[in-house]
Amino acid sequence: MQITDADRRILRQMMAEPGLSVADLAERAGVTAATCWRRIERLREAGVLRGEHAVINWHALGWEVEVSLRFTLDKTDPRAFDEFTVAAREVPEVIEIQSFLGSTDMRLQIIARDMAHYQQIYRKRILTLPHIAELDALMLVSTIKSSAELAL
């Protein structure tokens, strides 16, 4: 798919001010609402726009503990990656799963109500994940920036 300057302006605006209506987006991107809508539709069909994501402030909801866990897997078993991933997806407190090339294989981000809750998840759901060779945990203090304002 060919991405025009107008597409780029729309995408940039979506990143800069998420949640804007199509009409407002159109105005800021310098196109009419109908055009903007059709472009968004095209971007969706082309797989550039994957959908929407509600951004929730877990802290305000009383989920105080956020942890980033890095795993090295036991690569002697070729099924390690798949089985680890499938098992990790099933833990509801896991809010992000990333896979890497390098010494670390996977990263999970986890939220919990408090330390006691985290301990419980850690022992019952994390340490029981399959094929873990090594693991190290970092307590998250804050997420400062979580978006992009790129010159596409």
Partner DNA sequence: GATGAAAAATCTGTGAC
Partner DNA sequence: GTCACAGATTTTTCATC
Residues that bind a copy of itself (CB under 8 A): 1, 3, 11, 14-15, 18-19, 46-57, 60-61, 68, 85, 88-89, 92-104, 107, 111, 137-152
Structure tokens that stand for 125 in this block: 């759901």
* Cα 67 from Cα 151, distance rounded (Å): 31
Give bridge partners of residue 72 from the DSSP assignment: 134
Q: Which does 116 bind (CB under 5 to 8 A by kind): a copy of itself, DNA, none?
A: none
In the list 14, 22, 49, 87, the residue contacting DNA (rule: CB under 7 A) is 22
Q: Which does 38 bind (CB under 5 to 8 A by kind): a copy of itself, DNA, none?
A: DNA
- Please give the backbone phi and psi of residue 112, each rounded to the nearest 5 degrees, phi first: -145, 160
Radius of gyration over alpha carbons of the chain, in Å? 20
Nearer to DNA, 35 or 68 (CB): 35
In the list 15, 16, 23, 133, the residue contacting DNA (rule: CB under 7 A) is 23
3-state SS assignment for residue 4:
coil
| 119 lines the binding site for DNA (CB under 7 A) | no
Subset of residues 24 to 83 that bind DNA, contact rule: CB under 7 A? 24, 31-35, 37-39
* Cα 51 from Cα 44, distance rounded (Å): 8
Cα–Cα separations (whole angstroms), residue 142 to 68, 98, 146, 148 = 11, 19, 11, 17
Structure tokens that stand for 107 in this block: 């990263």
Structure tokens that stand for 17 in this block: 């001010």
Nearer to a copy of itself, 76 or 146 (CB): 146
In the list 15, 17, 21, 74, the residue contacting DNA (rule: CB under 7 A) is 21
Where along the sequence are the contacts to DNA (CB under 7 A)? 4, 6, 21-24, 31-35, 37-39
